[in-house]
Amino acid sequence: MSNKGKYKIPKAHALWPILWRVAVFLSIVVMIFAVLNILSGYVRDFRSEADTTYVRELADTIDHGTEAERERALATLTGDDHNYCIIDLYGNVVEHSGPITVSGYNDKKGEFYSSDLKDILFDADVKDDDGDRKIVVDAGGPATFLLDDYNTSIDAFAEVYDLASNHPDLLLSGSSNAVFSFPYWIGVPMSGSSQILLVRSMLTVKVKDYAYLAAGIIIAFIIAVFVFILMIVSVIMNLSSNRKLRRWLFRDNIIKGHNWLWYAVSTQDILCKRKNAHKTYAVVDLVFVRYRNFVLCHSVKEAESLLRLVVVEICKKLKKGELIAHSSSAALPLLLEVKDEDDANARIQDIISTLEAIPCGHRLAFKAGVYLVIPAQEKIALNQKRYIPDIDLLYNNACAASLSLSEVADSGIAFFDSELVDEEKWIDTVTTRQQAAVNNEEFLVYYQPKYDPRTNEHMGTEALIRWQTPDMGLVPPYKFIPIFEDNGFITQIDDYMLIHVARNQRRWLNEGRKCVPISCNVSRAHFGTENLAEYICNLVDREGCPRSLIEIELTESAFFDDENAMITTINRLKSYGFLVSMDDFGTGYSSLNSLKDMPLDILKLDAGFFRGSEDNPRTRIVVSEALALARSLNMKTVAEGVEDKSTVDFLAQEGCDMIQGYYYAKPMPCSEYENTVIPVPGQQVPESAPQQAPVESQPAADTQPSSDTPS
């Protein structure tokens, strides 16, 4: 599923909303002036109707009357102080009286501009007929058209200015006595002579004709301006609200800074930019180690105050464009621009050193998981046309690196690499296949016998687990047991081992073989089971195995959980006939205290407890005293991981009851154990069998040496 747009937050833009509002406002203004032009034209036509009728009658007389009538009509125009001119259909002046100030006339050339002439001829409805221009007259008679005078605008404004300056009361009241006068030309086509008569006249308009119109236009314009201002204000307010919302959305109230969403959005923006394609960035998961402990020892308020101080100190180390946020209680995601891994390590180490030095009366530690990302390389790896980073995946890789660090409360830095990926994939593979492996009985029980070092007699056995997969072959326990311990599946493995060991013991008894107690590990996770002793009894009893042939082996770490519950469970197991032993004695720090309270039958000494005893007198003393202490407490002892004869001789001399290790035998499959260690009576035992002649052997290449993890 594509991650595109997951952290895409729409941005508030002011330019486009303002531009389209300006466009709307200008459109309204244009409409207002268009309406004004239409109405003013209507008023002009209405007021000029009498003059138009007068000029049309004179034009008809001039066009169709006798010469005398024509002269009288022209004399009438001159006598009425009307300037006039007669032009042909090519723009040439045929006759005129007074200055020709009609718009479009060229005084120097004595003709009309071609563009204006076209408009006049168009209004006069002039057609070409075989090269001759003629005026076409319809049934309604020739059309009359109005033309502007050069001085129309100047005279009109002069009139208004004079009226506004000298008689403002008349202008505002719209009195019928207040008038505007300005010149204009009336054009009448004469079809008979194919000429056009142009007569200059004065248009008189009363103020009241325009007062209401002007008032309406002004009000409309004021409303338009007011609405425009409201729209601009709304844009600004929306922009401000959006920015406030983004600040609230991106705010972390604990550190008074930014939260994870801001970090994800900002990181995505930075990594997507083309100019950053070849830069190297470090996605960092910086974790405040034992932050919860600080909260418990102090208070939430003090812890949050310290966290804010930590953020302040980190910000001092950041460069322009680098990021820090707060994602969870103790995690601070960072984005650093670095040169390479060494540079990233140096910068993060510098940050951690600064944080560790914060004076707070508490030892501070920080661990950092780092994932290096180069956008250009990620783009190629993902086969993308445009790099769209998966921020969750990048940060998860950094978190996986930080989780790989030791749980010890110390600072540290870990980089995400391919080995970590392989490890996580292996964990996922084991977790996915674990239940099917139990159902298909892919787990095999291996047996490693224990011998009396004085007589070489077979005295006991430990059951160990291997995983025989159909595709990966034999998987040793150190590759899957820790995973089962982490995910809790180890309890099902404990049950699986108990059932199979009990089943084999019952079969061997039926076959007449010599059976000795076999130890099966029960993990500390199992002690959360209610009535654990009864639960184990049911598993063993269902297989028909005598309880005395099953030894329940507990690790020393299990004794640190609930001591009272542990003592109760051990006593119940012993009362039901089971043997109980402590594994890995000597690896912890509370061994003697455990021995003081726990009613154990067998004590297993870890290999590291006595390794090097031949060269270290102090080690020999400690081992000797531990064996003596066990005897005093009526416990048998087992030394595991023994690989050489000198150690066997030393342990035999000190009274160790049993030895388990490669010196006698390595862990072996069930069939090999049956044939070489507990053969059917009368069956010939191979000469290499350990109970016949113990030999020193080396660990096999495909198995773990003496540190073999038990089931």
Strand runs (DSSP E) across 17-99, as ranges?
Answer: 84-88, 93-97
pLDDT for res 582: 87
Domain boundaries, the chain: 21-220, 255-416, 441-676
The answer to whether the beta carbons of residues 619 and 651 sit under 8 Å apart is: no
What residues pair up with 287 in beta bridges, in sequence order? 331, 367
Location of structure tokens 């058209």: 145
Collect contacts of 501-507 with beta carbons under 8 A, ≥24 apart.
501/445, 501/463, 501/545, 501/550, 502/539, 502/540, 502/542, 502/543, 502/544, 502/545, 502/550, 503/543, 503/545, 504/445, 504/670, 505/543, 505/545, 505/546, 505/549, 505/550, 506/543, 506/544, 506/545
Length of the chain in terms of residues written: 711
Distance CA(330)–CA(288), nearest Å, equals: 5
Coil/strand/helix, residue 167? coil
Domain covering 255-416, topology: Alpha-Beta Plaits (3.30.70)
Q: Can you tell me the distance from the alpha carbon of 57 to that of 3, in angstroms, rounded to the nearest whole number? A: 84
CA angle 145, 151, 152 (to 5 degrees): 50
Q: Angle at which helices 15-47 and 49-64 pack, to 10 degrees?
A: 60
Q: Judge contact between 574 and 580, C-beta under 8 A.
A: yes
As a whole number of angstroms, the distance between CA 215 and CA 39 comes to: 13
CA distances from 196 to 62, 76, 202, 208, 507 (A): 11, 18, 19, 34, 134
Ranges of beta strands (E only) in 484-633 are 518-521, 550-555, 579-585, 602-605
441-676 topology per CATH: TIM Barrel (3.20.20)
Strand 458-469 vs strand 518-521: parallel, antiparallel, or unpaired?
parallel
CB 111 within 8 Å of CB 91: yes
Nearest to 86 by CA among 102, 72, 109, 67: 102
pLDDT number for residue 685: 59
pLDDT value for 692: 37
> For residue 315, which of 323, 305, 307 has the smallest C-alpha distance?
323
Q: Which of 58, 49, 118 is nearest to 84 (CA)?
A: 58
**Predicted pLDDT of residue 615:** 66
Q: What is the pLDDT of residue 666?
A: 94
Q: Answer yes or no: are the C-beta atoms of 32 and 217 closer than 8 Å.
A: yes
* 447 strand-pairing partners: 463, 668
Please, what are the averages of pLDDT over each run of 10 residues along the chain (711 residues)? Answer: 60 67 77 73 70 85 85 82 84 85 80 77 75 68 76 57 54 56 84 86 71 70 79 77 77 88 90 89 93 84 90 93 90 94 94 90 89 87 79 90 78 86 87 95 96 94 95 92 91 95 96 95 82 93 96 77 80 94 70 75 83 71 88 92 89 93 94 93 59 38 38 46
Q: What pLDDT is attached to residue 144?
A: 83
Q: Phi, psi (5° rounding) for residue 95?
A: -160, 150
